[in-house]
Amino acid sequence: MSLEDVPSSSDPYRLPRHMIPSRYDLRLEPDLAVASFSGEATIALTVKQTTKTIQLNAVDLVIESATIEGVKGQTFTASVELEPDTQRAKLTVGEPIPPGECRLHLSFHGKLNDQLRGFYRSTYKDATGARQSLAATQFEATDARRAFPCWDEPDFKAVFATTLVVDPRLTAVSNTSVIAESIENNKKVIRFAETINMSTYLVAFVVGQIEATPPRFVGRTPLRLWTVPGKHSLTSFGHDIAVASLTFFENYYGVPYPGDKLDLLAIPDFASGAMENLGAITFRETALLVDQQTGTHAELERIADVVAHENAHMWFGDLVTMAWWNGLWLNEAFATFMEMLAVDAWKPEWKRWDSFAVARAAAFSVDGLVSTRPIEYPVRAPKDADAMFDILTYEKGASVLRMLEQHIGSTAFRDGVRQYLRTHAYGNADTKDLWTALGTVARQPVPELMDGWIFQPGFPLVTAEVEGNHLRLLQQRFTYITETSTAGQLWQIPVQIRLSIGDRTEHRKLLLTERETSIRLPAGVTSVFVNEGGHGFYRVRHQGLLLQQLLDQGLECLAAIERFALISDAWATTMAGLTPLPEFLRLPTHFKNERNKNVWTVLLDSFSFLNRIVSSDDRAVLEAFVRGCVKPAFNELGWEPRSGESDLDRQLRGDLLGALGKLGNDAATQQEAAERYQRYRNDLTTVDPNIVPALVTILAHTGDQTRYDEFSERYRTATTPQEERRYLFSLATFRLPSAAKRTLERTINGEIRTQDAPFIVGALLSNVHSREQAWDFVKANWDQMDRLFPKQGLRRMCGGIVGLATPELEKDVRGFFTSRKIDLGGKTLDQYLEQLRVAVSFREREGGTVRAVLMNATE
């Protein structure tokens, strides 16, 4: 081997490590008018091994020149070769570069694209109706390489010193404060302070006619919100939670905020919800801006969640970063967990941990598939990195953290987190590092406990039954479809049990590590609840007598989160064929007095599922069944809010109303909804905001062409992001085929933003009245959608196929994805297809008797 040969990595997607960048001096000059940019980068490098080649990432860039300045001042000019398949640039020099320090100078240019990734263009209409542009960035996971050539892997951390050269009428924001501003050649030249040592995916620039709120300070950190002109009245709520959560995190983490300022920017076109660029967090408008007077509880909670989540990342993700994308959960699960803690501390009355149960249940529904994956999972290609941003990383990850926190205690957990952050600040870490910190502080064998939850796919079903004077607990992997290969899996399960003995309660805590165990029951036990508090990431089957005792005793004896677990677990075992459908459908009668919106979410979701699998002949019977369940609860709440009611009750009213009018197809409710909607149009203050989404949904569901046109207009002229979104989604709710056709066309003709279009198609695929039409449209326009829509949007859109729950459609769906060789990254497509299989096999199993069962249950 000659001296200058560098072993190229066997993985074409990883860069060789013989050169390590430590600092980037970037100068970028975007031109909004022609949607292009030019740039220069000077990258300080440490050469570890003599070499003639430099490999770094670049894609869709033209590199005009590359020169290397060595230690002794000698300069090498490199030839440049781009490798589009691996998104790399290979620079080659004539003479070997010796080990030591050197500087790489690059000049390049590229386009401001419309794909909402890399350096891209977003557009909006100003107050006069004229179209305006701004430029923004979205680099995670692997798109910094589209804005400047770089070592675009999370463990190549470096310092960034950015200069933006812009039209003097525009404003520019980046990760740090502005340190100098001048005019050169009729351009505004803005220099930003150096960043901390950080990953490329966290770099950000936003350039446009954007306006900031006055700063509010958290300690010394100025915190501002930015919007396009005219939206300042929508910033106060986001600002409040931003200040509250930043304060909360500085206290919890015991480490000061790592940036020198914090800007939160609302971008009109944005692929995901928000992005945690250090000091310059970007958001889609619905995730940051809201009118507090007209926003619903769910809309306000969404903003609180997203803002708290991104702020949590300033430490978890930005200060300490996963070494590679297989460990993405360290970023996202933690940010999700911390989001709950912060929002719960800010608004305890929202009971955020209770509604987190809904997210946990969503994770169960994917993790119950044979095609699930472990939380930590190998990643090679960029597509696979993108596919890691899923429910398993976020919601399963956050759930197992919550389980661990409850198991070792919240103080030990917090102190372990502090130690982890202090140890790895400005660097990278992996799962083992986290267990080491938590285990040391808690003095408990954390890796042994947690490895099964992070490195194994799936989760356990715990079956609980009484045998004599013992309680027997048995674990097995939960799957919807029987699969023998999963039989041997075991977890270390922290189990909390509550025993009721008449009026007295006793608590038991144990770690179930074997397949089964049993504990002795004290004399006179009247009921047993397994998974007390509902924190465990497992489902429970209370068998026979145990279930009967809980029901006899009355469900009001359980906490809301426990009632949620009971019904959610019962529904899951029904879908898996372990509980007969009639038995499940008897349960809603026990929830007659239920006033918890999360518990109702499970019930309503189970009805929606049935709606997707019943034949159209049976739909009327299902509707009657839904009315029978929902009406008593809704009548009891009434149409009007009562004094002293909580935000959660108001939300529940909206949820029940929507279900009654749409799934229940209740004529009287539809009539009254139309009247109230008219009143609302005349005077927005006459109706509680929380029922407005339901009114709009019901009116769309029952609407004709005139109403479609009216709602289209309301979408176009909406004054808040939430109102715009509400009317946009209503366009996917009409039952008229002509309306569905029109909405589908608008998803690809530019009338609907590409940030939203895939979700609208997804909604049409899930709507039983439009699903076939939508599916035909997707097949016919796949290539165009693939080109137009942001990648993650396209992936989410495909999630809509799980609603195509007939044997014929299922076959067609499989055929399409196979013949077109479509890869959605990771295991995404396999999971959607298996969810569809689960739904269709449920239909095949229960479809014949569901009518009789529903009629029986209605009586």
Q: Least distance to ligand BES from the beta carbon of 270, Å?
A: 8
Is 324 in a helix, a strand, or coil? coil
Q: Which of the stretches 29-37, 191-199, 247-255, 333-341 binds Zn ion when contact is defined by CB under 5 A? A: 333-341
Q: What are phi and psi of 380, to 5 degrees?
A: -120, -70
The footprint of ligand BES on residues 296-325 (CB under 6 A) is 305-306, 309-310, 313
Q: Could you please report the per-residue DSSP string of 756-799?
A: THHHHHHHHHHSTTTHHHHHHHHHHHHHHHHHHS-HHHHHHHHG
Closest CA to 614 of 808, 805, 814: 805
Interaction of residue 300 with Zn ion, rule CB under 5 A: no
> Per-residue x/- mask for ligand BES, residues 89 to 128, rule CB under 6 A?
----------------------------------------
> In terms of CB distance, is 138 or 221 closer to ligand BES?
138
The one of Zn ion, ligand BES, none whose footprint includes residue 367, by CB under 5 to 8 A per kind, is: none
Nearer to ligand BES, 625 or 789 (CB): 789
Gap between the Cα atoms of 572 and 564, Å rounded: 12
Shortest distance (Å) from residue 799 CB to ligand BES = 14
Which residues in the 372-431 window bind ligand BES by CB under 6 A?
A: 389, 394
User: Cβ of residue 542: shortest distance to ligand BES, in angstroms?
Assistant: 32
Closest CB to ligand BES among 397 and 452? 397
Q: Considering only the stretches 273-281, 641-649, 689-697, 844-852, report the one whose residues sit in contact with ligand BES under the rule CB under 6 A.
A: 273-281
> Is there binding between residue 274 and ligand BES (CB under 6 A)?
yes
Instruction: Tell me the C-alpha distance between 279 and 601, whole Å.
Output: 36
Residue 532 is among the residues annotated as catalytic for this protein: no
> Between residue 334 and residue 353, which ones bind Zn ion under the rule CB under 5 A?
335
Pick the closer one to ligand BES by CB: 313 or 542. Answer: 313
CB 402 within 8 A of CB 531: no
Q: Does 355 bind ligand BES (CB under 6 A)?
A: no
Minimum distance from CB of 362 to ligand BES (Å)? 12
Contact track, ligand BES, 767-796, x by CB under 6 A: -------------------------x----
| Residue number with CB closer to ligand BES (206 or 275) | 275
Our CB check for Zn ion shows the closer of 335 and 474 to be 335
Q: Judged by CB under 5 A, how many residues of this single chain contact Zn ion? A: 2
The SS3 assignment for 285 reads helix
Residue nearer to ligand BES on the CB measure, 167 or 395? 395
CB of 239 or CB of 539, closer to ligand BES: 239
Residue 138 backbone zone (phi > 0: left; psi -120 to 50: alpha; other: beta): beta
Binding span for Zn ion by CB under 5 A among 232-240, 278-286, 332-340, 740-748: 332-340
* Contact partners, residue 93, CB within 8 Å, separation at least 6: 52, 53, 54, 68, 76, 77, 78, 79
CA gap 391, 454 in Å, rounded:
14
Report the residue number, 280 or 673, with the smaller CB distance to ligand BES.
Answer: 280
Q: Nearest 5°: phi and psi at 662? A: -100, -70
Q: How far apart are CA 660 and CA 670, in angstroms?
A: 9
What are the start-end ranges of the H helices in 643-736?
A: 647-661, 667-682, 692-701, 705-717, 721-730
Q: How many chain residues interact with ligand BES (CB under 6 A)?
A: 17
Q: Which value, to the nearest 10 degrees, does the dihedral of the CA atoms of residues 397, 398, 404, 407 take?
A: -140
Contact between 332 and Zn ion per CB under 5 A: yes
Binding part of the chain for ligand BES, among 267-275, 738-746, 749-757, 775-783 by CB under 6 A, reads: 267-275
Of the candidates 479, 439, 469, 327, the one whose C-alpha atom is nearest the C-alpha of residue 393 is 327
Residue span binding Zn ion (CB under 5 A) among the ranges 4-12, 184-192, 324-332, 430-438: 324-332
**19-31 vs 159-166, strand pairing mode:** parallel
**Which residue from 332, 395, 433, 756 is in contact with ligand BES, where contact means CB under 6 A?**
332
* 423 in Cβ contact with 437 (< 8 Å): yes
> Minimum Å distance from CB 359 to ligand BES?
10
Residue (271 or 576) nearer to ligand BES, CB? 271
Which residues, in sequence order, are CB contacts of 250 under 8 Å at separation 6+?
A: 218, 219, 256, 257
Whether the upstream peptide bond of residue 429 has omega within 30° of 0, thus cis, is: no
CA distances from 703 to 343, 389, 708, 738, 813 (A): 38, 37, 7, 12, 30
Active-site residue identified among 310, 339, 562, 723: 310
The conformation of residue 150, written as its DSSP 8-state character, comes to B
Task: Outline where DSSP puts E strands in 324-469.
Answer: 428-429, 460-467
By beta carbon distance, the residue nearest Zn ion is 335
* Helix (H), strand (E) counts: the chain: 27, 30
Q: Indicate whether 222 belongs to the interface with ligand BES (CB under 6 A).
A: no
Among the residue ranges 13-21, 328-336, 500-508, 513-521, the one whose residues contact Zn ion (CB under 5 A): 328-336
Report the amino acid identity of residue 733: T
One residue of 29, 153, 276, 569 binding ligand BES per CB under 6 A: 276
Least Å distance, CB 628 to Zn ion, is: 41
With contacts defined by CB under 5 A, name the span among 79-87, 222-230, 330-338, 380-388 that binds Zn ion.
330-338
Which amino acid, 723? E
Q: Is 141 in the site for ligand BES (CB under 6 A)?
A: yes
List 40, 140, 834, 846, residue binding ligand BES (CB under 6 A): 140
Terminal alpha carbon distance of the chain: 83
Q: Is 281 in the site for Zn ion (CB under 5 A)?
A: no
Which residues in 421-489 belong to E strands, given as ranges?
Answer: 428-429, 460-467, 470-477
Residues that bind ligand BES (CB under 6 A): 140-141, 272-276, 305-306, 309-310, 313, 332, 335, 389, 394, 792
Which of the residues are catalytic? 310
Residues that bind Zn ion (CB under 5 A): 332, 335
